[in-house]
């Protein structure tokens, strides 16, 4: 019977320069070796290149060591070769992605998270930076951890550390996400539209109190919405146009939608608010789907009633399912983003549920949460880096003509 295969780990470190990878593999190609794994990282101009190889039989280890060492010395680098034996290693690579966002991100937070990963019996295989502004985002590639246990442990730590932490399965699961559906009020928009209408109707305090109680899940949404809309009875329809002029998109909203669309994602909104505003958002941002309630209007004034069925908590989940069916996307490949109790069902139904600047009940129910005031941070949870976004923007002739990247 043939003996066990020998494995070699060849590591080069030193100042990065063109041709390092090519020259190393040229040296290795002179021997009977098989490549099992390759990783290369450059930090501030310093290269770390690791190659894991298997060698059947009895390779000339002395020659390999001498040739790799000579190559490293010629390039002003350091070489290390370690040897093992046994079958091809059974490694769980990229099993989980642990994404960490902070503003600022302190060394103490990174130390705590790395310690928690180790305490869960997991191994950090790789750390990369996805963004450095307006938030710092780094991602750990982790193997050997139970995702539920690690997510629960890190969720407890995140608030104390002042960072957001997301734990997701890696590989094809995350890359398969194809539909993103978002809440509107206090998510895609900074505002609560019904509160803005109430200001113009002179009932701001009453409506704000009902809105806050509804978001906390203390009042049935449909009943609270009916009460709030009744308070708007008699408001001139011109108030809708006035509110539209003053709406504020969440920081990063345009960047998020623009980038997702470039990558072939379908994007939609579902709102307990009103079609008079979601229709504008769909046109303004190029959304594929939009659903909301409709304010009834007669003789140029709001009647205080809704036209059609109410889009409530259950209605939002139904909309997510319908959008997914129309897009030909399974629910496992959907992302739902929201901030209030009204979003809980669609967050639970989606493949990835994100609580965005959300109430505690929503944060605890979601797969992950974001507390940074930048909606495009969602991109980092999908493995899309800030450098990738900015490079794509720089190549966009429309953005260039407009004078650069708009939020």
Q: What percent of the chain has pLDDT over 90?
A: 61
The answer to whether the predicted template modeling score (pTM) of the entire model surpasses 0.75 is: yes
Any idea what the CATH number is for the domain that residue 125 is in? Answer: 3.30.70.260
36 lies in the same domain as 158? no
pLDDT above 70 (res 348): yes
In residues, how long is the chain? Answer: 407
185 lies in the same domain as 171? no
State the residue for tokens 């998020």: 256
Q: pLDDT (tens digit, 9 = 90+) per residue, 2-42?
A: 556 788 889 999 998 899 999 999 999 999 899 988 888 77
- Residue 281 falls within a domain, yes or no? yes
Is residue 164 among the annotated active site residues?
no
Q: What is the pLDDT of residue 90?
A: 41
Give the domain extent around 263: 179-193+239-399
Residues with Cβ < 8 Å from 131, sequence gap 6 or more? 101, 137, 377, 380, 385, 386
With CA atoms as reference, report the closest residue to 76 among 9, 27, 19, 8: 19
283 lies in the same domain as 385? yes
The catalytic residue among 164, 183, 195, 367 is 183
User: At which of 32, 52, 85 does a domain end?
Assistant: 85
CA 350, CA 332: separation in Å to the nearest integer? 6
**Other beta carbons within 10 Å of 218:** 11
Q: What is the token pair recorded at 39? A: 């990783």
153 lies in the same domain as 246? no
The catalytic residue among 16, 60, 87, 185 is 185
Is residue 241 among the annotated active site residues?
no
Any idea what the CATH number is for the domain that residue 373 is in? Answer: 3.40.50.1000
147 lies in the same domain as 273? no
């Amino acid at each position: 019977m043939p003996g066990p295969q020998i494995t070699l780990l060849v590591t080069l470190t030193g100042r990065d320069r063109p041709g390092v990878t090519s020259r190393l593999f040229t040296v290795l190609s002179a021997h009977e070796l098989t490549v099992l794994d390759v990783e290369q990282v450059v930090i501030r101009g310093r290269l770390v290149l690791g190659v894991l190889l298997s060698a059947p039989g009895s390779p000339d280890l002395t020659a390999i060591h001498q040739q790799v060492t000579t190559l490293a010395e010629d390039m002003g680098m350091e070489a290390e070769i370690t040897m093992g034996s046994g079958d091809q290693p059974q490694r769980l690579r990229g099993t989980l992605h642990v994404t960490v966002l902070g503003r600022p991100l302190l060394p103490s937070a990174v130390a705590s998270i790395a310690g928690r990963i180790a305490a869960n019996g997991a191994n950090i295989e790789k750390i990369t930076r996805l963004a450095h502004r307006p938030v710092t985002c780094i991602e750990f590639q982790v193997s050997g951890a139970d995702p539920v246990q690690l997510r629960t442990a890190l969720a407890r730590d995140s608030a104390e550390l002042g960072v957001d932490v997301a734990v997701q399965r890696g590989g094809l699961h995350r890359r398969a996400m194809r539909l993103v559906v978002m809440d509107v009020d206090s998510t895609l928009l900074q505002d609560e539209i019904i509160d803005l209408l109430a200001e113009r109707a002179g009932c701001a305090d009453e409506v704000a109190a009902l809105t806050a109680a509804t978001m906390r899940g203390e009042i049935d949404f449909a009943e609270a919405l009916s009460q709030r809309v009744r308070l708007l009875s008699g408001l001139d329809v011109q108030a809708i146009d006035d509110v539209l002029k003053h709406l504020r998109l969440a920081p990063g909203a345009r960047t998020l939608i623009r980038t997702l669309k470039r990558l072939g994602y379908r994007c939609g909104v579902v709102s307990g608010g009103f079609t008079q505003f979601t229709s504008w958002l769909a046109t303004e941002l190029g959304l594929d789907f939009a659903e909301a309630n409709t304010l009834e209007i007669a003789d140029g004034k709001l009647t205080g009633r809704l036209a059609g069925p109410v889009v409530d908590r259950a209605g939002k989940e139904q909309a997510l399912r319908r959008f997914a069916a129309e897009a030909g996307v399974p629910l496992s490949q959907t992302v739902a983003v929201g901030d209030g109790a009204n979003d809980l069902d669609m967050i639970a139904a989606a493949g990835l549920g994100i609580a965005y600047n959300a109430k505690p009940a929503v944060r605890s129910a979601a797969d992950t949460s974001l507390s940074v005031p930048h909606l495009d941070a969602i991109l980092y949870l999908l493995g899309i880096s800030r450098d990738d976004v900015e490079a794509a923007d720089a190549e966009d002739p429309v953005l260039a003509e407009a004078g650069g990247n708009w939020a």
